[in-house]
């Protein structure tokens, strides 16, 4: 839950006057999203999400994110569509912060993940990858293999506070993944954070994808590996092969996986588990006391990492070659 | 900001199926209100606020609050109107908590208080008092004079942590107010918490009053004293007589004050300042570390209390007899 910036009504009115969407009717801070301040805004023309970008999002990356949402929406993906002001510019400023208005998407994210949700995510992710193919901009993924060692070094001295021996296990893992990380898989725009709270459903069908603020250019199959981790484990840590099979089958029905991608999946899933383990560990060790956002448990991802390390064949994910 | 309970989508759908308002289209936790969990719910029929009552609201009081909102809405007050389910019952249960659905109100609460807002609040408060006159239920105000000593005793030993000498000053104040608190002023339903975040405006006119969860039966003029404290001081602690005069004049144009009410105003304002000072002090000393809600500064109300103690004539509030 997060609203970091309170927007005075007069400033909001002046901000909205630059758009052709009528006057503000109501504006409520919403308790979702942990990186930015989000408001559900109603004007005479309809409903929107107003986002103020807080310090964790680099302003230099914002044109990429805005252009990506515009591109994807224009290519049939149900995602927030940036609304341009009268001067044609979508990325603006409010209360001293970069700000943008995007379309409101119906639907709710699933709190209890059912197999049907995993099927929908596989399909939606593949369509996202296809729609992103023609997107011209690129943004390096600073949370992939090249970024892990730096994150690890920032946590190393205190990792034992979370679990004895954690630093040693992470060091060995990073050594191994740096050695064998794939180099030539099909790449493109990936969402890179497609967790359940970023996928809206209506009547068990995907109605929208949100929160493109980790999107970047990387291996497409890495995005799939992130989703396997985010959607296919039960809360007790067990891996649900039925869910994984549905996700993968529905993905492949839209965008077939190459033999290399198929073979790399266990490794990509290990890397993805390591990525969320490291960022959660960093947040756990560095969150200010009294912060609004409760840090997520890093050890959930240690369990997932160990599972993937034990996998030798992609068939463990319910996948046939 | 507050969402204490996350509502699983399946439970929400089952809950909404008991109403005749179509299916759920979206549901977002809103970052307002500090006592309960609030969601902005959209269904096929429209927009609503869904409230789950958390432990600070006594379940035994809920029928009073629900009936009051129904009564006020039926008597022309723009306030949240409880929506009844198909069985005619508005107060229900969701996720193990009492829950109710109310109508959504347009408008925004003012972040920067202008004189025109104070005029609107005076008018709206008087209309609220008139509309409440025929309301049959009553609820004692446990945060008026009878409740202060208990709150004080719960804070006494640690009050010096907030300010040296605070316990002594509060003790003297409670002694004085208990001795001279009025006994026979006109009474009725009061809102008892009509702070700026509980009053919505559109185009500088009041568009709605919300959050009736402190409403109770008490002196009507005490409600006005609460508003004087909440709306008429500047952030530097100075008292804005222009705002007070507008609030009082607009109140009296709808509901004239008796001579006794007029004379009692400085005392009621002192008591109201003490009430918020005590509850803020209690919250300050007892809030769990890492809580979502930042406690409000109790000393803001010490300054207001001292101001009112220095007032000998109601004319200090810009009021003519």
What's B211's domain CATH number? Answer: 3.90.1200.10
Q: Does the pLDDT value for residue A22 go beyond 90? A: yes
pLDDT of residue A289: 61
**Which of B6, B8, B28, B34 is most worth mutating to test chain A (most A CB atoms within 10 A of its CB)?**
B28
* Residues in chain B whose Cβ is within 8 Å of chain A: 1-3, 6-10, 12, 24-32, 40, 42, 104-112, 200-202, 289-292, 294
In this structure, are B79 and B156 located in the same domain? Answer: no
Contact at CB, A42 and B106, closer than 8 angstroms: yes
Note the pLDDT tens digit of each residue in B192-244.
999 999 999 998 999 999 999 999 999 999 999 999 999 999 999 999 999 99
Percent over 70 (pLDDT), chain A: 96
Size of interface A-B (CB pairs under 8 A): 93
Which residues from A are below 8 Å from B7, CB to CB? 111
Establish if B2 belongs to a structural domain: no
Which residues from A are below 8 Å from B9, CB to CB? 108-112, 201
Contact at CB, B25 and A202, closer than 8 angstroms: yes
Q: Which of B25, B200, B292 lies at the smallest CB-CB distance from A106?
A: B25
Which residues from B are below 8 Å from A106, CB to CB? 25-26, 42
* Residues in chain A whose Cβ is within 8 Å of chain B: 1-3, 6-10, 12, 24-32, 40, 42, 104-112, 200-202, 289-292, 294
pTM: 0.88
Which residues from A are below 8 Å from B25, CB to CB? 106-107, 202
CA-based end-to-end distance of chain B? 41
In this structure, are B130 and B176 located in the same domain? Answer: yes
Establish if B3 belongs to a structural domain: no
In this structure, are A231 and A305 located in the same domain? Answer: yes
Which residues from A are below 8 Å from B42, CB to CB? 106
Establish if B275 belongs to a structural domain: yes
In this structure, are B298 and B182 located in the same domain? Answer: yes
Chain A nearest CA to B55, separation (Å): 20
Single residue among B70, B103, B136 that ends a domain in this structure? B103
Establish if A281 belongs to a structural domain: yes
In this structure, are B281 and B204 located in the same domain? Answer: yes
Q: How far is CA B26 from CA A72, A182, B111, B211, in A?
A: 22, 40, 27, 23
Establish if B109 belongs to a structural domain: no
Taking CA atoms, what residue in B is nearest to A289? B290
Q: Which of A25, A29, A294 lies at the smallest CB-CB distance from B32?
A: A29
pLDDT of residue B78: 97
Which residues from A are below 8 Å from B2, CB to CB? 31
What are φ and ψ of residue B229, in 5° steps? -70, -40
Per-residue pLDDT of chain B (321 residues; tens, 9 = 90+): 456 788 988 899 999 999 999 999 999 999 876 678 999 999 999 999 999 998 888 999 999 999 999 999 999 999 999 999 999 999 999 999 999 999 999 999 999 999 999 999 999 999 999 999 999 999 999 999 999 999 999 999 999 999 999 999 999 999 999 999 999 999 999 999 999 999 999 989 999 999 999 999 999 999 999 999 999 999 999 999 999 999 999 999 999 999 999 999 999 999 999 999 999 999 999 876 655 556 788 999 999 999 999 988 888 887 776
Which residues from B are below 8 Å from A49, CB to CB? none
Establish if A4 belongs to a structural domain: no
Q: Which of A8, A24, A108 lies at the smallest CB-CB distance from B9?
A: A108
In this structure, are B133 and B97 located in the same domain? Answer: no
Question: What is the residue range of A139's domain?
Answer: 115-317
In this structure, are B263 and B218 located in the same domain? Answer: yes
- Domain CATH number, residue A58: 3.30.200.20
Which residues from A are below 8 Å from B200, CB to CB? 26
Single residue among B39, B70, B103 that ends a domain in this structure? B103
Q: Which of B2, B28, B111 lies at the smallest CB-CB distance from A9?
A: B111
Which residues from B are below 8 Å from A3, CB to CB? 1, 31
Taking CA atoms, what residue in B is nearest to A30? B30
What are A269's two structure tokens? 């899933």
Distance between CA atoms of A245 and A319, rounded to whole angstroms?
Answer: 6
Single residue among A58, A73, A103 that ends a domain in this structure? A103
Establish if A83 belongs to a structural domain: yes
3-state secondary structure chain B: CCCCCCCCHHHHHHHHHCCCCCCEEEEEEECCCCCCEEEEEEECCEEEEEEECCCCCCHHHHHHHHHHHHHHHHCCCCCCCECCCCCCCCCEEECCEEEEEEECCCCECCCCCCHHHHHHHHHHHHHHHHHHHHCCCCCECCCCHHHHHHHHHHHHHHHHHCCCCHHHHHHHHHHHHHHHCCCCCCEEEECCCCCHHHEEEECCEEEEECCCCCCEEEEHHHHHHHHHHHHCECCCCCECHHHHHHHHHHHHHHCCCCHHHHHHHHHHHHHHHHHHHHHHHHHHHHCCCCCCCCCCCCHHHHHHHHHHHCCCCHHHHCCCC
How large is the average pLDDT for residues A275-279? Answer: 97
Q: Which residues pair with A312 in a beta bridge?
A: none
Chain B nearest CA to A290, separation (Å): 4
Q: Which of A7, A32, A289 lies at the smallest CB-CB distance from B290?
A: A289
Establish if B232 belongs to a structural domain: yes
Query: A54: part of which helix (H) or strand (E)?
Result: none
Contact at CB, A40 and B29, closer than 8 angstroms: no
In this structure, are A210 and A242 located in the same domain? Answer: yes
Q: Which of A29, A106, A200 lies at the smallest CB-CB distance from B31?
A: A29
How large is the average pLDDT for residues A137-141? Answer: 96
In this structure, are B248 and B273 located in the same domain? Answer: yes
> What is the total count of domains within chain B?
2
In this structure, are B96 and B162 located in the same domain? Answer: no
Which residues from A are below 8 Å from B294, CB to CB? 290
Distance between CA atoms of B21 and A25, rounded to whole angstroms?
Answer: 22
Helix axes B115-131, B62-74, angle to 10 degrees: 100
In this structure, are B196 and B286 located in the same domain? Answer: yes
Contact at CB, A106 and B26, closer than 8 angstroms: yes
In this structure, are B172 and B43 located in the same domain? Answer: no
């Amino acid at each position: 839950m997060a609203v970091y910036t309170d927007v005075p009504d007069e400033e909001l009115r002046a901000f909205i006057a630059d758009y052709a969407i009528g006057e503000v009717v109501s504006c409520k801070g919403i308790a979702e999203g942990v990186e930015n301040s989000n408001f559900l805004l109603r004007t005479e023309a309809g409903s929107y999400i107003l986002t103020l970008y807080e310090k964790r999002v680099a302003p230099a990356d914002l044109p990429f994110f805005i252009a990506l949402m515009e591109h994807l929406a224009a290519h049939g993906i149900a995602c927030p569509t940036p609304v341009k002001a009268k001067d044609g510019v979508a990325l603006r400023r409010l209360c001293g912060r970069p700000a943008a208005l995007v379309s409101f998407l119906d639907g709710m994210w699933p709190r209890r993940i059912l197999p049907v949700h995993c099927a929908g995510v596989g399909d939606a992710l593949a369509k996202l990858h296809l729609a992103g193919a023609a997107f011209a901009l690129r943004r390096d993924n600073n949370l992939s293999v090249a970024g892990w060692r730096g994150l690890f070094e920032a946590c190393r001295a205190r990792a034992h506070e979370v679990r004895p021996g954690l630093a040693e296990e992470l060091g060995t893992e990073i050594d191994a993944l740096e050695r064998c990380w794939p180099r030539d898989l099909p790449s493109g725009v990936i969402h890179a954070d497609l967790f359940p709270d970023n996928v809206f459903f209506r009547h068990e069908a995907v109605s929208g994808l949100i929160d493109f603020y980790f999107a970047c250019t990387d291996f497409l199959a890495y995005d799939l590996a992130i989703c396997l981790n985010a959607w296919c484990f039960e809360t007790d840590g067990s891996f649900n092969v039925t869910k994984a099979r549905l996700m993968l089958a529905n993905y492949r029905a839209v965008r077939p996986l190459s033999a290399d991608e198929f073979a790399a999946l266990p490794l990509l899933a290990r890397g993805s588990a390591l990525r969320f383990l490291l960022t959660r560990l960093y947040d756990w060790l560095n969150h200010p006391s009294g912060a609004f956002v409760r840090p997520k448990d890093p050890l959930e991802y240690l369990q997932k990492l160990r599972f993937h390390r034990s996998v030798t064949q992609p068939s463990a994910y319910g996948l046939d070659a």
